[in-house]
Amino acid sequence: GAFKLLLERMGIPQITISPYNSKANGVVERGHFIIRESIVKACEGNIAKWPEKVQEAFFADKITISKVTGFSPYYLLHGVHPVLPFDLTESTFLVKGFKSGMSRADLLTLRMRQIQKRQTDLDRAAAQLTKFRIRSKEKFEKKFQKRMQFGPFDPGDLVLVRHTEIEKSLDRKAKPRYRGPYQIVRRNQGGAYILSELSGEIMREKYAAFRILPYIARDRKAQ
């Protein structure tokens, strides 16, 4: 039939064994047992969900290194390692439970959970990201507290605006690093400043406090 023609075209030898021959089937069934155990564990007690887990189980198995070959089936087929969405948006790397010496069934179960991208994992990722950002912000403000702000500035003060996009460029030495002078209009509740041109036109853009520096005129009377 068509299957036999496919085997011949792909150069795959087919070995026919007698039915119910557990010794001959052992090599194949061993892999099936691991897949089955992974699906059962991924169902977490609700075995009726097993059809939803089959595709994830087989995909997880194909991207996991084989003890026999030392490569994943995916790598042997495509010649490259699979690129999985391991980023904060997917939060797949935040799945807990990975440890040295775990069984292959347990490993595949966790890989399946990575692929599932559960909402609980996404929520935990968002909470951890928010916590990390707040901690990072507090650490940054504490470290650069004296350098960040010269204010608070009052309405009418003349200031310069730090050109942060130029400071990050490689050829920044040849470019102006500050813009201005401008005039302080007010400070909003978040701490950012509203500025205006010296002729009175108010800018729509808000400027963070760390970008504002006092304008020191060479002739003080000019202020």
Strands 193-196 and 178-187: antiparallel
The residue that leads in pLDDT, 118 or 5, is 5
**Angle, CA of 129, 132 and 133, to the nearest 5°:** 85
CATH fold label, 149-222:
SH3 type barrels. (2.30.30)
The predicted pLDDT at position 76 comes to 81
The predicted pLDDT at position 110 comes to 78
The residue that leads in pLDDT, 206 or 141, is 206
The predicted pLDDT at position 186 comes to 93
Which tens digits make up the pLDDT trace of 161-198? 887 665 555 455 555 677 878 899 999 888 889 999 88
144, 149, 171: which is closest to 162 by C-alpha? 149
Tell me how far apart the alpha carbons of residues 119 and 125 are, in angstroms, rounded to a whole number: 10
Instruction: Delimit the domains of the chain by residue range.
Output: 149-222
The predicted pLDDT at position 122 comes to 59
Are 20 and 10 a contacting pair, CB within 8 Å? no
Question: Residue 89, class by beta-carbon neighbours within 10 Å (0-12 exposed, 13-18 middle, 19+ buried)?
Answer: exposed
The predicted pLDDT at position 223 comes to 44
pLDDT over threshold 60, residue 92: no
Gap between the terminal Cα atoms of the chain:
94
The predicted pLDDT at position 210 comes to 82
Range scoring the smallest mean pLDDT among 4-18, 26-40, 111-125, 197-211: 111-125
